[in-house]
Structure 1
Amino acid sequence: MPSENTSATTPDWITTPITADLLRGALDLERTEHGVLPHRLPAWVRAQYADGQLAMAESQPSGVRLAFRTRATAVELDTLPTKRVYTGAPPRPDGVYELLVDGVLAGRGSVRDGNTLTVDMTTGSAELRPGPVGTVRFTDLPDSDGDSGDSKNVEIWLPHNETTELVALRTDAPVEPAADPGRRVWLHHGSSISHGSDAAGPTSIWPALAASLGGVELINLGLGGSALLDPFTARTLRDTPADLISVKIGINVVNADAMRMRAFTPAVHGFLDTIREGHPDTPLLVVSPILCPIHEDTPGPSAPDLAHMSEGRLKFAAMGDPAETAAGKLTLRVVRDELARIVAQRSKEDPNLHHLDGLRLYGEADFAELPLPDELHPDAATHRRIGERFAAQVFTAEGAFATHEA
């Protein structure tokens, strides 16, 4: 079982430098004052557009994990997390680290220390307060693969919703990078829902769960608040090696009130065109939004509901006028219809382009059973449902990501 904030007192710990060959799911590794910071967007993107929301989202290591082989029975990881506090909202739980041994969950823990970023959603201001490095510790691990007696594969999945600088990795036996598992690589892009929102932990965000069920290696470019058809994100997808690609488009475009139909349709085409420059024949799946009742027929923007904020609860409300859809403002129904039309048009010449209606992942009946707690983001149970449904519809013999044996 893991313990938290435990100092290294064992005299024979082995410290292993944290390098890129120990990490999966990150596209860049930045050297910092304390250690290294995994990024999910490359440095040139961060230099090109220094947006605070995007910077926070891409530095939160959703889907990023340390992967190594070892006979160690105890592991310590020193990190410097950045906690988020939203003014007027309930405190957020500490981020969760999950350790897997040969693919099986063997421990969970958190780091209570770290920096604190206080965000005022009513003004958009943010203030960072520095804090100390902390430690998450996992003990009583098996000393080897039970079947072969060899070193075991260990993965430490980092908190999906907490920026995490990696400071030191200590074990009670030597570590070497894990071998390439030989699985197909699935590259996914989406909003905070794909990022993980309120999932229970990093391996149960819906893309991680779907990847596990589908037997693939995940690179998750789910970026909270930032699935906005940005050209630099399309170029990142274009340039990242992958066997399977999916893009989940819609909710951020609507809830940010980012564009109208006149801009949306060309932007989708341009986004897909750019991906195809680097992946001309790769299976490419376009996923439309899951149900979100506040934006089904009401355009954005969305904003915190101040009446609920005063009660210490975080809820969102749609601020647009449904009548404005006639002038081209977007709702989720409009986006779903247009994405289906675009894919149908393009797939006549692109047989590897596919479409999945997000309502098949989470629709009206699901909302009645598992409502969105803040009117915008799924909870842990809903993440599990979405992940299981995605795997069942996409990784099966008739699905977009079916395995076709030679």
Structure 2
Amino acid sequence: MVSFFNRFLFFILIVNITSTSYGATDVKQLRISNTANSVRIVLDLTDQAEYKIFTIDNPYRVIIDLKNTHLNTSIAQPDVEKTGIQSIRNGVQDSNNLRIVFDLKQKMTVSSFVLAPEGNNIHRLVLDLKHSKTVQAKSVSQINQGKRDVVIAIDAGHGGTDGGATGKFLKEKDVVLSISKEIKKIIDGVPGYSAFLIRDGDYYIPLDQRPAIAREKKADLFISIHADAFTTPQPRGASVYSLSLRGASGAMAKFIEDSENSADERGGLNLSERSDILVQVLGELTLDATMDAGVDVGEFVLGSLKKGTKMHSSVIQKANFAVLRSPDVPSILIETGFISNPDEEKNLGSAKYRKNLASAIFKGIDRYFQANPIPGTYIAWSLENKNKLIDYTVKSGDTLSGIAYKHRINMSQIKAINHLKSDSLRIGQVLKLPLVSN
């Protein structure tokens, strides 16, 4: 028998969030996905249901009680690997009430909301579980030099129920996620830079939350990656967009602006019920400097893309994209091509082509930050010190190639600076080396 004290403790520990709605209900499906900063749980329901959500410590659990609700026993058990969820259990209370228990690996906070039927979607109960504390690993350059990285937020457009533009074989959401992952891989491999993905899987994030995530993680630049479609197969080529609160700079820009800004509706969100806090922020803050920086970085990326990519527009395009409306993070949107063009769809389906695109995008970003270094970053420090030399004393086991690799410089540089005629070294020899690589 549970003691009065234990029952009392139970009610002290729980957080009770209620939402009242009515009707006999079946849970048709339970879906779980990782977003950039949370775990999203979606219950597809045949009707509205009265529900309560509780959180309990020691061990950590999230509990959903749904009144007059039944679980479809044929639904597949969702994959909980890397979600922070240990296991999922369910049971029946008072014959007609369903309880679902999520056993957690660590403490998480919970929020919830309901979505009414829209399009092919039925009633949905959505829970977002957030980790209590996010620890970001230090990069190699931060550890070695004590200078922070330039942080790039990479937003793969669309996702989940919003597939974006479609070609004969490909979906935009899949193509842009692949390109985004390639960009991140390149960025993370360069000293002085680090990157994170706004979404790293097939799920949808509302448009206004994407720049909010970038701001939360203190990004220095936000890039949104897309691959659009047109009503005819002829248009092709990449384009680079910056934010304009006055609207699109041309007919095609307006077409793409409307297409991208309607993503929330395709993602299953009821826009009429959402409070747009960002609009209030935009009304209070001056965006001129941020938008100017977005244009500047866009010019560098555009110039880099031109060297190896067919361009739809040879100048920066402007549009009022919702995803670019960050008051203090320079932002650009890159249309990597038209997936509705058969040749371009074939290119975007090629891993080599996507890698080349990613490389060109990063080269443009790097040239911008080399020209506009942020004080306190490794990039700024390296520019200040690139012509300075340090003494290095050769130790037992040292080779010229090993020293060059360790200090991220070329063997030819070392030989030129030290007037060496061969690769041979002697223990105790003092070499002049650049403080940082050129």
TM-score normalized with structure 1 length: 0.32
- Structure number with the bigger relative contact order (C-alpha 8 A, sep ≥ 6) is 1
TM-score normalized with structure 2 length: 0.30
Larger Rg: 2
